[in-house]
Amino acid sequence: MGDATFTFQVDEILKTAFSQAAQDRNRNSAQLLREFMHAYVQQQRDETEHDAWFRRQVQIGLDSAESGRVDSAEHVEERFAAKRAATQRRLDAAK
């Protein structure tokens, strides 16, 4: 895969400040822009993967609910009340 040129306009003050910031980090502007581009592309991939995972998880929950595999609110509250009580007992014992 060969190199390509990316040309765009930017305010002269921003260009100067960016060039100085790159130089301060022992980079040139092109190196820093490539790093930013790689990071942005990876961030977009990560967000897309997370969104797909999240949608799958929601669908699993919806499918489960539609098939009747759900706990009542009362049952959930009972389970977590027991967990809270157990945690409180451990905290009290640690005092």
* Rounded Cα distance, 43 and 87, in Å: 38
Over residues 48-75, the pLDDT tens digits come to 999 999 999 999 999 999 998 888 899 9
How do the domains of the chain map onto residue ranges? 12-70
Neighbouring CB atoms inside 10 A of 78's CB total: 12
User: What does the DSSP 8-state code read for residue 19?
Assistant: H
Over residues 80-91, the pLDDT tens digits come to 999 999 999 999
Q: What is the reported pLDDT for 35?
A: 95
pLDDT surpassing 90 at residue 95: no
* Rounded Cα distance, 50 and 44, in Å: 10
SS3 content of the chain, % helix, strand, coil (to 5): 75, 0, 25
